Chain A
Amino acid sequence: MAAPVPFLQRLKAWFTGRTAVIGVPYAWLLAFFLLPFVIVFQISVSEMVGVQFKDLLTLKDGVLQLTVKLSNYVFITEDALYLKTYLASLKYAAATTVLCLLIGYPFAYFMARARSTQQPMLMMMVMLPFWTSFLLRVYAWKGLLSENGWVADLLVASGIDQLLYALGLITAPGKLMHTPFSLVLGMTYTYLPFMILPLYANLAKMDLRLLEAAADLGATAWVAFWKITVPLSKAGIIAGSMLVFIPCIGEFVIPELLGGPQTLMIGRVMWDEFFSNNDWPMASSVAVVMVLLIIVPLAIFNKYQAEAQEARK
């Protein structure tokens, strides 16, 4: 009969370098994502008594009772405000993502195809805005788009404001601030590097001989771009889109500074529930629904990544 392995020895065998390395990110996620999320979720189903939460589990006459208050979630589905705000958040995040892709793809493409001596400089230009505080840069747009800002003057002088007005992106000709236009402009400006960097990384490692092979088989440069380059950069497009779309949904600062009454986004609603209404359970419910909204695209992305990984084997 083998002697039972002492606990300490078993622990030693289990605690290898490998476990430690893998354990760090897991511990991080557990402590800073899962645990807070559970707390937020708990608050969202709690009853408020004065300024205190009632315990979910109570022991009354020897019977364990679980009190879960779901009325906040019911309220979210019933009150049109929340649905409208969620949809608006999705809409602005989607618009920002599409714009970032339209601007970022050509940029990343030419950056990846530029002479290798020029690439670090181009990369620098993408990174440079990060050296200034994000808040300052968004504030700067406030100045640029307000009535005396030169960007606003330029847009008005060139008549683009009329076009924006016709499209319903601004409330009145000449008034650019606090409109869907200024909001999406600000978000696109802020999140563009997050689109460019993964796309660049993807496009730079593409095998250019594939384009030669396509040309050899009769494809013009335009056809080769759509049939070869774009499908092969799918992973970069998805990664960039996720990096822009997900933070945009919950964005609070940019809608607060550049948006207006028209552009209510979910981050703003959450802020109001927490700090104006002091209704923490309601605010937590809004937050939980938002996290779920973000998890859906993320899950799709992960599934695609897993498939791509599988395919490479």
Chain B
Amino acid sequence: MATDTLRVGDRVDAAFLHIDQVTKDFGGFRAVNNVSLEIAKGEIFALLGSSGCGKSTLLRMLAGFETPTSGRIVLAGQDLAGLPPYQRPMNMMFQSYALFPHLTVWDNIAFGLRRDGLPKDQVAERVEAMLKLVQLGSYAKRKPHQLSGGQQQRVALARSLAKQPQLLLLDEPLGALDKKLREETQIELVNIIEQVGVTCVMVTHDQEEAMTMASRLAIMSEGRFLQVGAPHEVYETPATRFVADFIGNVNLMDGTLDVDETDHCIIGCADCTHYVGHGITGNAHMPVTVALRPEKIHLSRHKPDDPYNTAHGRIKELSYFGSFTVYHVELTSGLRLKVSVANVQRHRDDEFTWGDEVWAHWSRAAHVVLTS
């Protein structure tokens, strides 16, 4: 029953979930600040941000546990305002799962179906299908505390999918698992969600989780969206200094725009001159920031031929991660350049080490020029 059906041709109709200028105040504190978003059917969308950025509040508003101070949330053409959580066509997988400790796995999954007054045989059929989906058939009679963390996570997923919700909300879905299990579960979770075909909004502070699982993500800070896009867009073309710094590792170099042509621009910094393989629209001599990802920089002991995109320094610090090593190269200005080098060979004859003088070099397509 649509209480507020939108007109045909309305821009909103294209989106399955429409968050329209939503704001939430807690007393004097603005947790979510005028946020708008459109999510298409079948998308897995991640809200990514550090704790206190407002992502959980936004999710709780979707679920109906919080009421927006202003703005609308529209799902499949229906305005959700005033709809209590128990009437919303969406289900949530809670952070650390919130499984009912006194009920068995079977009864946990059946809980929502029974609230709908489904006949017994249909409930059983649906629960069995869910147990099969998450491969927990033989655990139906167990209580939640008799399961491992990974199994509990799958019960929580089965419980939230049992009612065939139009929208699945995931609150830090893998936050309670250890690293190894998390990586395996990420893929499994996405497979199950895609198999079911449910539209999904997840909240996470873990950027790896957001990038591997989501088709699109929004970076949130202080109640606002800083950037919305596919994971590779946000990583490779961050819109702001904050986003560049928040997602992955980055070297930020301040400089001025010296030459700005349509096919290239030249930016002068303290330690080097950047030659960027595309033009930017800016005024000459305006201050800009160049963002360089550590994996896009090469190290060598010899001075490269290229007069541009090269800097000289000394290795001050190195962190070995197994598959790659991050070198901290101190440039003449004192700026430390992080360079990550893949360890493609087991032992290199000529390994860089502390105190080595090196030249860093990067390609003309490696930069992101940030004007804000």
Whether A214 lies near B111 (C-beta < 8 A) is yes
**Complex-state Cα separation, A213 to B159, whole angstroms:** 10
Q: Interface centre among A209, A213, A215, A216, by most B CB within 10 Å?
A: A216
**Complex-state Cα separation, A210 to B87, whole angstroms:** 17
**Complex-state Cα separation, A210 to B100, whole angstroms:** 7
- Classify chain A's interface size: 20 to 34
Whether B112 lies near A212 (C-beta < 8 A) is no
Task: Give the residues from 184 to 205 in chain A that come closer than 8 angstroms, CB to CB, to chain B.
Answer: none
Beyond A217-B163, A228-B100, A312-B145, is A212–B111 a contact (Cβ under 8 Å)? no
Whether B65 lies near A212 (C-beta < 8 A) is yes
**Complex-state Cα separation, A207 to B100, whole angstroms:** 10
Which residues from chain B contact A312 at a C-beta distance below 8 Å?
A: 145
Whether A217 lies near B98 (C-beta < 8 A) is no
Query: In the assembled complex, how far is the CB of residue A308 from the closest CB belonging to chain B, in whole angstroms?
Result: 10
Which residues from chain B contact A124 at a C-beta distance below 8 Å?
A: none
Whether B98 lies near A212 (C-beta < 8 A) is yes
Task: Give the residues from 222 to 278 in chain A that come closer than 8 angstroms, CB to CB, to chain B.
Answer: 223, 227-228, 231-232, 234
Residue in B closest to A313 when the chains form the complex, CB atoms: B145
The answer to whether the Cβ of B279 comes within 8 Å of any Cβ in the partner chain is no
Task: Give the residues from 82 to 100 in chain B that come closer than 8 angstroms, CB to CB, to chain A.
Answer: 84-88, 91-92, 94, 98-100
Query: In the assembled complex, how far is the CB of residue B109 from the closest CB belonging to chain A, in whole angstroms?
Result: 10
Whether B100 lies near A216 (C-beta < 8 A) is no
Whether A216 lies near B92 (C-beta < 8 A) is yes
Beyond A212-B65, A216-B85, is A223–B115 a contact (Cβ under 8 Å)? yes
Whether A216 lies near B115 (C-beta < 8 A) is no
Query: In the assembled complex, how far is the CB of residue A79 from the closest CB belonging to chain B, in whole angstroms?
Result: 46
Whether A212 lies near B94 (C-beta < 8 A) is yes
The answer to whether the Cβ of A66 comes within 8 Å of any Cβ in the partner chain is no
**Complex-state Cα separation, A234 to B99, whole angstroms:** 18
Beyond A215-B84, A218-B112, is A209–B102 a contact (Cβ under 8 Å)? no
Which residues from chain A contact B111 at a C-beta distance below 8 Å?
A: 214, 217, 219, 227
Which residues from chain A contact B84 at a C-beta distance below 8 Å?
A: 215
Query: In the assembled complex, how far is the CB of residue B298 from the closest CB belonging to chain A, in whole angstroms?
Result: 50
Which residues from chain A contact B145 at a C-beta distance below 8 Å?
A: 311-312
**Complex-state Cα separation, A38 to B111, whole angstroms:** 52
The answer to whether the Cβ of A77 comes within 8 Å of any Cβ in the partner chain is no
**Complex-state Cα separation, A218 to B165, whole angstroms:** 11
Residue in B closest to A231 when the chains form the complex, CB atoms: B102
Which residues from chain A contact B85 at a C-beta distance below 8 Å?
A: 212, 215-216
The answer to whether the Cβ of B305 comes within 8 Å of any Cβ in the partner chain is no
Query: In the assembled complex, how far is the CB of residue A73 from the closest CB belonging to chain B, in whole angstroms?
Result: 42
Residue in B closest to A312 when the chains form the complex, CB atoms: B145
Whether A232 lies near B163 (C-beta < 8 A) is no
Whether B98 lies near A219 (C-beta < 8 A) is no
Which residues from chain B contact A227 at a C-beta distance below 8 Å?
A: 111
The answer to whether the Cβ of B63 comes within 8 Å of any Cβ in the partner chain is yes
The answer to whether the Cβ of A119 comes within 8 Å of any Cβ in the partner chain is no
Query: In the assembled complex, how far is the CB of residue B160 from the closest CB belonging to chain A, in whole angstroms?
Result: 8
Whether A217 lies near B65 (C-beta < 8 A) is no
